């Protein structure tokens, strides 16, 4: 029996949950699910200057919207500062760490000198082996030291990464990491290691921007005699031009994807295939993802974010979704959609029924909820309808005559439904020897104000007799 898998998602609340973070969370979540373990959420808020409450709320909201849950309450790293300091002091007592009184100015000079000599900027270890007397003197002078790790100076540190492979770092390239600042607060490097250890994290899955940190953190694990968790550093997501992901590329908060009308299940499906694959399979249910997910299938090269593909997958999900569920998803998302309030304000049982009736025709024509909402506008537009320019042209260019001719025939229609309306319109167009399109298009223009919509006969049916005829009369007047 192996120990249970514990993964964690550990965002710093200095901004919103962006798309790369969302994917990292998804991978952690999937891995935990796959192996019957759990995912923890840790908010890395030790940077008091930049951490904000709204960011914390946005991250939690983003994860929930994406459908990714975590075990227990979120752990706030800052709240554990005393424990982190305790570990630093323990390392100091054990000689695994030392006090360093180098001033900010000294450190800056050190870096500039290194740069001038074309060496990598690195702390030179000037307090590493100072006699006790020097340290006492510095204390006596009222100086506040940082605690630095006494990292190995020779040999190499090996990170056995499950995605990147065996990565070797010469120890001479890694300097003595600061563990505790001079004000007594822990650094990220210390806090992460202590927390991952205390939380019994077995697998660390994070962006490969942390790969070199992994070597430094390995030193801390070794100094404490703790077992190093399995590491998996996944490549970052890039923008469509291969450069760093920017706003323009999709480096938006996940809440922005909700506002753009993407379904969480579709976004998950898109994200899981960015950097991970299982043969040629493209579409996965959540369960299929869980069953197929594992670390070896994660690629080592960065992927570019592609809105077109996301849109395609979202369209696939929308079309596959039962109409009542899709409608529910649309209505739930209304507060987040740009023109959502217009529909929300008019929503009643009648409109709800019309939306549901129109949904089969609507969902074939939309790739996002935004497009779905837009496509549904004719259902609740106020009379007389504002006509789009092309729709107006259609009526002015001879279409109105057809409406005038059709109006009495439609008024005479017994049962008001799509097939009945179709017979009437077809009979008329045959009578006058016109193509069906030449009659159907003006009809559509008058009924929806547009030149594209679901099938006109379906439009007539869902709109109902009164509304349909009224809209036609509106357009025959002038």
Partner RNA sequence: GCGACCUUCGUCUAUCGGUUAGGACGGCUGCCUUUCACGCAGCAAAGAGGGGUUCGACUCCCCUAGGUCGCACCA
DSSP 288-324: HHHHH--GGGB-SS-EE--HHHHHHHHHHHHHHS-HH
Q: Which of residues 310-329 bind RNA (CB under 7 A)?
A: 311-312, 315-316, 319
The piece of 197-205, 270-278, 324-332, 396-404 that touches RNA (CB under 7 A) is: 270-278
- 3-state DSSP assignment of residue 149: strand
Residue 247 is among the residues annotated as catalytic for this protein: yes
Q: Which of residues 417-446 bind RNA (CB under 7 A)?
A: 422, 435-437, 440-441, 444
Nearer to RNA, 54 or 299 (CB): 299
Which of 23, 96, 150, 238 binds RNA (CB under 7 A)? It is: 238
138 binds RNA (CB under 7 A): no
Residues 154-173: x where in contact with RNA by CB under 7 A, - otherwise, as a string? ----------xx-xxx---x
Backbone torsions φ then ψ of 16, nearest 5 degrees: -80, 170
209 binds RNA (CB under 7 A): yes
Q: Is 377 exposed, middle or buried (0-12, 13-18, 19+ CB in 10 A)?
A: middle
Which of 41, 178, 193, 260 binds RNA (CB under 7 A)? It is: 178
The piece of 83-91, 232-240, 343-351, 376-384 that touches RNA (CB under 7 A) is: 232-240
- 3-state DSSP assignment of residue 98: strand
DSSP 245-303: --GGGT--BHHHHHHTT--HHHHHHHHHTSSB--TT-----HHHHHHH--GGGB-SS-E
455 binds RNA (CB under 7 A): yes
Nearer to RNA, 122 or 392 (CB): 122
103 binds RNA (CB under 7 A): yes
Which of 56, 76, 213, 388 binds RNA (CB under 7 A)? It is: 213
Alpha-helix runs per DSSP H in 364-432: 369-375, 377-380, 389-394, 400-411, 418-432
304 binds RNA (CB under 7 A): yes
d(CA 18, CA 3): 32
118 binds RNA (CB under 7 A): yes
Nearer to RNA, 37 or 461 (CB): 461
Nearer to RNA, 37 or 250 (CB): 250
Cβ contact 164:300 at 8 Å: yes
87: which 2 tokens?
């570990």
Among the listed residues 244, 247, 346, 390, the single catalytic one is 247
* Catalytic annotation, residues: 247
């Amino acid at each position: 029996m192996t120990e249970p898998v514990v993964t964690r998602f550990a965002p710093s609340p200095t901004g919103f949950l962006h798309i790369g973070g969302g994917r990292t969370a998804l991978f952690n979540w999937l891995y935990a699910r796959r192996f019957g373990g759990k995912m923890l959420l840790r908010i890395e808020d030790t940077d008091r200057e930049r951490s904000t409450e709204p960011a914390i709320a946005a991250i939690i909201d983003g994860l929930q919207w994406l459908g990714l849950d975590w075990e227990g309450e979120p752990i706030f790293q800052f709240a554990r500062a005393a424990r982190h300091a305790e570990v630093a002091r323990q390392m100091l007592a054990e000689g695994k760490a030392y006090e360093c009184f180098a001033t900010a100015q000294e450190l800056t000079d050190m870096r500039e000198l290194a740069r001038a000599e074309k060496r990598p900027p690195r702390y030179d270890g000037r307090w590493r082996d100072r006699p006790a007397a020097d340290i006492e003197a510095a204390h006596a002078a009222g100086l506040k030291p940082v605690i630095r790790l006494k990292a190995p100076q020779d040999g190499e540190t090996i990170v056995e990464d499950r995605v990147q492979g065996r990565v070797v770092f010469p120890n001479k390239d890694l300097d003595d990491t600061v563990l505790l600042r001079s004000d007594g607060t822990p650094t990220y490097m210390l806090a992460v290691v202590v927390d991952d250890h205390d939380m019994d994290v077995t697998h660390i899955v994070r962006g490969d921007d942390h790969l070199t940190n992994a070597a430094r953190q390995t030193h801390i694990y070794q100094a404490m005699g703790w077992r190093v968790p399995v590491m998996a550093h996944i490549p970052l997501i890039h923008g469509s031009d291969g450069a760093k992901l920017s706003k323009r590329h999709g480096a938006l908060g996940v809440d922005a994807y909700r506002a753009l009308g993407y379904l969480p299940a579709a976004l998950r499906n898109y994200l899981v295939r960015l950097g991970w694959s299982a043969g040629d399979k493209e579409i996965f249910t959540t369960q299929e993802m869980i069953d197929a997910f594992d670390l070896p299938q994660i690629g080592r090269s960065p992927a570019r974010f592609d809105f077109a593909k996301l849109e395609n997958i979202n369209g696939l999900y929308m079309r596959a979704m039962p109409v009542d569920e899709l409608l529910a998803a649309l209505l739930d998302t209304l507060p987040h959609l740009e023109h959502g309030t217009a529909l929300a304000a008019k929503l009643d049982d009648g409109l709800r029924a019309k939306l549901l009736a129109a949904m089969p025709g609507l969902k074939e024509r939309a790739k996002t909820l935004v497009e779905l909402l837009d496509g549904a506008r004719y259902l609740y537009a106020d009379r007389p309808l504002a006509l789009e320019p092309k729709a107006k042209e259609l009526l002015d260019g001879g279409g109105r005559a057809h409406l005038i001719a059709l109006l009495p025939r439609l008024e005479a229609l017994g049962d008001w439904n799509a097939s009945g309306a179709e017979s009437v319109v077809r009979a008329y167009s045959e009578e006058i020897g016109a193509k069906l399109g030449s009659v159907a298009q003006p009809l559509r223009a008058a009924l929806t104000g547009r030149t594209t919509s679901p099938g006109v006969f379906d439009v007539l049916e869902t709109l109902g007799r009164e509304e349909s005829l009224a809209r036609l009369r509106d357009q025959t007047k002038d």
